[in-house]
Structure 1
């Protein structure tokens, strides 16, 4: 299976406009921000959106992509879902004795059923179970960081209906917390070395690639109404070991802040944004596409 998956380097260029792309529960759901002012979007947050699109079995995104890719929906269930039954999943792992058997695991109902377990890996442990079930997946997303510091705006939400006895109007002080404008870069990688451990196939990777352009458009919320994927670069290497250092590809496609790099931006026009790889890097790669154009 690992021979069918090509090593790839990816880079998401995200633009947040008056939106909270990823709230921080340790700071009353403020948009995530580092002490130096740079904004953050966690990889867990982005993968959750891909999972949600697949978990919505009757949703237009999943049903459409299943038809396009000719996928069996029963092979694309979500492990990281609410209400899962741990005892059932333990049996699906083919771990009846607590002793790990790789062949049994790769042919188990668990591997055949859970798309996110195959693609992202899993840390699903049972009490007394085998530690060998801690699997590193094929696809790895990195913490997304804004190119320039972000400005957080906070407002009070109001509700015409009273939420307290004797009150005609409800108020939630500073409950509306958004980034005024920010451009974020989130690298991601596809590593075929781990495919034989998790059971990942090329179909799993192709579904991820198809899902990425819809990650925000089809999961909008009141606090996250306008997060745009401006570019979703996907660069396949010519060989499974890698044909170009990842960091060179990431650096070549990362936008640069015009003017003062320490000043929060106000629009997309505040950035110089590469439109393609330089020829010397492109010649090292097998393919370089923007998934947003596909």
Structure 2
């Protein structure tokens, strides 16, 4: 595969929210996700990957090789059919009989055409149902859950509106009540990993894909502003690059070099300026460099 990444990367993203709900929990009335034991806020990896996908879709406009597999209002089967048409067959059950190498061809086709499969991987259930061994692709880029640096205190805000839903309701009331949850302020940290080994062996994630990913991470909230999410922004993107495919040091030891803490005298954080971020780049392990891209 031409231009596939050759180095492993480990990275940390710091992002914050002001007066918004960064990731509502549908099992808790859409309240911001929270760790009940520590009070720290949570944002799922799925939520963050959605923002990245949305940015790529807007930036590339379905450019060849940069389609998005997991997207609104498009059934997965519709996208899967493109690979089936590429092989020129009608029945999934007949594919293996006609072409013993169909598994690899379908996987490669989907990776080449869909950026998010090439990046994050995917579970393609259409192919699994057809007994094809290509339906689960493990992507080279993985994100963990984001966790806030300090405990958050979600607030329930009652709101009113003058536009009544029905004519009958308008006969007996002039306003309707609603509510929304916000986090007054929260700074979140999430760790990410990029495997050059999986890129080479499986998806073909390239240097061009990598640069686009960094750009998407830095801008993932810029096209996602809404009243519900308040003001969200990526504040830091700290990247550790290894000079080898398999890496030169454990990721956790590199992540421990990033220290985020409240400045002296700050009791309740209400802005990014209330924090200090220190990255220890002294005596990095041999073969590892660090770059603060944001």
TM-score by length of 2: 0.84
- After superposition, what is the alpha-carbon deviation per residue over 1:20-76, rounded to whole angstroms, capped at 9, x for unaligned? 1111111111111011201001111111011111223xxxx447xxxxxxxx91110
- The aligned residue for residue 266 of structure 1 is 270
| 2:132 corresponding residue in structure 1 | 130
Q: Distance in 2 between matches of 1:55 and 1:88?
A: 15
User: Secondary structure at 2:142's aligned position in 1?
Assistant: strand
Match in the other structure for 1:78:
68
CA distance in 1, matches of 2:154, 2:108: 49
Q: Which digits, 9 at most, give the CA deviation of each residue in 1:170-215, with x for residues without a partner? A: 211xx22111111111000101121221232222222111111111
Instruction: Work out the CA distance in 2 between the residues paired with 1:116 and 1:257.
Output: 36
Asked if the contact 1:12/1:231 (under 8 Å) is kept, the reply is yes
- Consecutive unaligned residues of structure 2, counting only runs of 5 or more, are none
Worse overlay, 139-148 or 99-108: 99-108
Displacement, 1:222? Answer: 1.0
Q: Does 1:120 align with 2:110?
A: no
Please provide the CA RMSD for this pair: 2.6
Shift of 1:286: 4.4
Q: How far apart, in 1, do the equivalents of 2:108 and 2:143 lie?
A: 27
**Which of 36, 39, 47 is the matching residue for 1:37?**
39
Q: Is 1:189–2:183 an aligned residue pair?
A: no
Map of 1:49 onto structure 2: 51
Which is higher, the Rg of structure 1 or of structure 2? Answer: 2
| C-alpha displacement of 1:280 | 1.0
Matches within 5 A, 1:139-178: 139-164=141-166, 165=169, 166=171, 167-172=173-178, 175-178=179-182
1:233 aligns with 238
Distance 2:221 2:51 in 1: 7
Task: Please tell me whether the aligned partners of residues 148 and 264 of structure 1 are also in contact (alpha carbons under 8 angstroms).
Answer: no
Counterpart among 251, 254, 278 of residue 249 in structure 1 = 254
Shift of 1:224: 1.1
For 1:208 and 1:248, the matched residues in 2 are separated by: 24
Given that residues 15 and 182 in structure 1 are in contact (C-alpha distance below 8 angstroms), is that contact kept between their aligned partners in structure 2? Answer: yes
Q: Deviations over 1:86-108 (max 9, x none)?
A: 15514516565256645423542
- Name the counterpart of 2:225: 220
Is 1:280 matched up with 2:270? no
* Mapped partners of 2:141, 2:76: distance in 1: 25
Moved more, 74-83 or 163-172: 163-172
Segment of structure 1 superposing worse, 160-169 or 242-251? 160-169
The change in CA–CA distance for 1:143 and 1:162 in structure 2 (over 3 A counts) is same
CA contact (8 A) 1:151 1:264 kept: no
Unaligned runs of 5+ in 1: 64-71
1:111-135 CA distances to partner (integer Å, 9 max, x unpaired)?
Answer: 2210001110000112233244211
Separation in structure 1 between the aligned mates of residue 45 and residue 203 of structure 2, nearest angstrom? 19
Contact (CA 8 Å) 1:139, 1:188: kept in 2 or not?
A: yes
